[in-house]
Amino acid sequence: MADYDPLTDLTIKLSRQALSDEKKYREICNCVRRVIGDANRVSLWQFNERRDEIYCLCLLEDGSFSADIDLVLAQTTCADYFEAILRKEVVIAPVAREHPHTYCFTEDYFEPNNIYSLLDYIFHQDFKPIGIICCEGTTGPVSWTERDISMLKRIANITSMFF
């Protein structure tokens, strides 16, 4: 079997019609983890129709993958985040607990999950935001690089084609 770069490999795997949604989610998270080394916690979220809540579809953390996550984050608790992610398509928060768009998640989400940094990017369906790929750093603040941001954008674009 040929040895492809991670993004080509992801594209090939997601293009398989028989691949279940859960396996697609796993492949996306694994690809993110491979190309963004400081993202030691990766999750996929889906917007509700009004785009005022996001539901966690899956989580990859410490090599363990779960698609049975009962977690919802609402715009009512963090309007600044929702406005930023929907307007800019990306939120880059090296110190997430102090960032103006993400500090609202500190008490209920970041602290219990030991999250220090966040890098999120939107993916689309029919050119409308449908979900978020979330990279989190749990070992301390992460200075996300331009390469990290570029790679996450490329993964989000691939995800948009197959979601």
pLDDT tens by residue, the chain, 163 residues: 456 799 999 999 999 988 999 999 999 999 999 999 999 999 999 999 999 999 999 999 988 999 988 999 999 999 999 999 999 999 999 999 999 999 999 999 999 999 999 999 999 999 899 999 999 999 999 999 999 999 999 999 999 999 8
Query: What's the pLDDT score for residue 160?
Result: 96
Give the N- to C-terminal CA distance of the chain in Å, as an integer.
26
- Token digits for 122? 């939107």
In this prediction the pTM is 0.95
Q: Which residue has the tokens 């009512």?
A: 76
d(CA 153, CA 90): 9
Q: Report which of 86, 95, 87 is spatially closest to residue 136, judged by C-alpha positions.
A: 95
Q: What is the pLDDT of residue 163?
A: 82
- In order of start, what are the domains of the chain with their CATH numbers? 21-162 (3.30.450.40)
* Ramachandran area for residue 162 (φ above 0: left; ψ -120 to 50: alpha; else beta): alpha
